[in-house]
Amino acid sequence: MSREVAFDLLNRVQSDDAYANLLLPTLISRAKLDSRDAAFVQELAFGTIRNWLLYEKIIEAASSRKIDDIEPDAQIVMVLGVHQLLEMRVPTHAAINESVNLAKAKASKGSVGFVNAVLRKIALKDKDDWIDSVTKGLSELDSLSIQYSHPIWIVQAFKAALASRGIDGKLEDLLASNNLAPKVSLAALPGFCNPDDFDKEQQAQNRSPIGVEISGNPANIELVNRGFARVQDQGSQLVTLALAAAPVEVADDNWLDMCAGPGGKAAILAAMSLESGQRFVSNEVSDHRAKLVINALKPLGDFEVMTSDGRSLGQGAQKFSRILLDAPCTGLGALRRRPESRWRRRPDDLVDLVKLQRELIQSAWDALEPGGVLGYVTCSPHLSETTGQVAWAEGRFKGQLELLNANAILNSISQSLNLDESLRTAQLWPHVHGTDAMFLALLRKSIN
């Protein structure tokens, strides 16, 4: 049953563009799996998605067939089988036999013998030997693309982003970190709880002063169930705290989260606004996402949540001293958490996203009080979505924009980050900071 659930998840990810992290709990609940089997399914499914390209290349080499010439259902059975053989503590005979049984249940009769033969051949070598075999004669970037199962355009984008920060020798470390399941972190919402309220034995080194890294199921923690602590990557916590800490030159009385869904960063800002007395407003473009924000804020109090296109907010009468623009982006900074995104995104997506980001920046700038600060955030290190957009804004608002030192502000919040303060925009990295690859620029609007 566990392997059938993993198959169904991968099938939905491929055929319906489903989000694995959202769909998996539903499939596990329907199958009535216990915690042990649920953990097996998660490791099998997510590990397979993270390594999909490598496994396809291994299957091609072992079968002497192009992957597109193999029946789609059999492809899924086989990549699941390869992951069990090369990455999991599943005995070889069990991995092969269970894969054959899965092929019988999910694929055509004619594919069963093929699945059996190919997996037996793959079992004769270990993962490193297969990597050597399928990358032989390729360029460095092409080899890394296959070894770590990242599309080549993403590998190239990461290389450029790292080089822009002077750490271009760490590309392989970044790719490897994207294939490791992230630890679960909580945000202890200021004024409602703090990290000391949690079991110290569960905590590792935390980058965020409100962060708590835990083991186990957060649903078993009372403060989470009450809505006073939230599951949230510590990179997301840090960029939100940095906006709140940035110096403004205006009465600091109105805060806005312009693209607030699903509400994690909004919850931090809402909690902080209660402590320091600001009015806090959230906005989302769709009713569905606005409801997620409303539900996220409900345990903390009554906050205004607007439903409108963020690109129109700058035309309104309301002005704000701090605006968080967590802009829609490729999400390449969260591939640890949403591994299927690497297969779903295309370079062409950047054209529309960059245009949308600029329209949102313009709207946020128009809604910003002189002396106020705009926090531009993306969960992507791609230069077109990060420093490229800051350069555009500096040209667009020349003479009106002061680029604050986001690295200095983040270092003051968490000294362990050790960010380079010679650079004014901040880029976090999973292989360096243990967070998602969050980008932050803090743009202050001149009073004159």
Active-site residues: which are they? 379
Residue 403 to residue 115: CA distance in whole angstroms: 57
Roughly what angle, to the nearest 10 degrees, separates helices 52-63 and 109-122?
100
Both ends of the chain: CA-CA distance in Å?
A: 66
The pair phi, psi for residue 135, each rounded to 5°, is: -110, 0
Residue 47 to residue 83: CA distance in whole angstroms: 7
**Residue pair 373/246 in contact by the 8 Å Cβ criterion:** yes
Roughly what angle, to the nearest 10 degrees, separates helices 387-396 and 349-367?
50
**Residue 102 burial (CB count, 10 A):** 23
Residue 305 to residue 258: CA distance in whole angstroms: 10
Q: Residue 417 gets which letter from DSSP?
A: G
The helices-and-strands tally (H runs, E runs) of the chain is 20, 11
Q: The dihedral of CA 14, 16, 19, 21: what is its sign?
A: negative
> Helix or strand or coil: residue 296?
helix
**Residue pair 103/111 in contact by the 8 Å Cβ criterion:** yes
Distances (CA, A) of 376 to 192, 206, 227, 324, 385: 27, 23, 26, 6, 10
Angle value at C-alpha 327, between 146 and 392, nearest 5 degrees: 90
**Residue 175 burial (CB count, 10 A):** 21
Among the listed residues 374, 442, 432, the one whose alpha carbon sits nearest the alpha carbon of residue 408: 442
Among the listed residues 323, 321, 326, 325, the one whose alpha carbon sits nearest the alpha carbon of residue 248: 321
**Residue pair 216/202 in contact by the 8 Å Cβ criterion:** yes
